[in-house]
Amino acid sequence: MSRVLGAALLGAVVASQLGCVAAGVTTAAVGVLSAADRRTAGAIVEDQNIELKAPARLLRAIRNSTAVDVTSYNRQVLLLGQVLDEGEKVAAEKAIRELENVNTIYNELTVGSGTDSVAKKAKDGILSTKVKSELILTSEVGARHIKVVSDDGVVYLLGLMTRREGEQAAQVTSRVAGVRKVVTLWEFIQDRDGNSAVPSPPPWAAPAPSSSVVPAAPAASAASAAPLAAPSPAATPGAVVTTAPVR
């Protein structure tokens, strides 16, 4: 009997140690991610949880939940894809808003067939990869801090950025072949010089309060040019840029 009890105790100790190792590995992995990310470790985990829990919530809320993509960055949630009617667009947003730790929802769902083809998803993925590659090649843009999501030629940029980084990232993205429109959903932070975290829109972006879309920039005058002036029309293709209200 004592041998059985001893074996049981040994098994419990081993299991406990393995559990500690697994927890340590998980903690270390989150630590590595947060070291290369401007989000806190807690925000990274919460974003992962939001994206993991969203499909089950959508499955109960709308008829074809697989046509909706949910992206969370620093608790800001972007909804893309198609739903069958306006009622389902509202229902999808409501379902996601009920998830824990969701701060803001950008509902970009469109009403249509309620389906999303494999070919379209692949094309969107390729465009996102092209944009990310261009951002990585631009050393002044903190590409590792940018989440890139594409939907039918429209590229959405999310991240914690300085004003300078945000302006340049939008410029770079607008010049990538296949991009029809750029939508920036930045959360602005202070730069190393401590400049204000709340930016004014660059000359080629939509004014923040109206969120309207404008064509890519004319050349800025010397008197009004920002530190990173918008390219001249000849250097910029037909992509347009819109800026969401600063939150």
Rounded Cα–Cα distance for residues 205 and 183 (Å): 10
Rounded Cα–Cα distance for residues 224 and 186 (Å): 23
Of residues 111 and 201, more confidently modeled:
111
**CB contact at 8 A, 168 and 141:** yes
Q: What is the pLDDT of residue 192?
A: 63
Rounded Cα–Cα distance for residues 52 and 56 (Å): 8
By mean pLDDT, which of 55-64, 78-87, 223-232 is the weakest? Answer: 223-232
Give the mean pLDDT of the chain.
Answer: 76
* Fold of the domain built from segment(s) 41-111: Histidine-containing Protein; Chain: A; (3.30.1340)
Question: Tell me, what amino acid is at 65?
Answer: S
**φ, ψ for residue 35 (rounded to 5)?**
-65, -30
Domain boundaries, the chain: 41-111, 118-243
Express as a percent the part of the chain with pLDDT over 90: 56
Region 103-129 average pLDDT: 93
Q: Using CA atoms of 97, 99, 104, 110 in order, give the dihedral in degrees to the nearest 10.
A: -50
**CB contact at 8 A, 47 and 39:** yes
Query: What pLDDT digit, counting tens, does each position of 177-209 carry?
Result: 999 999 999 999 987 665 544 433 333 333 333
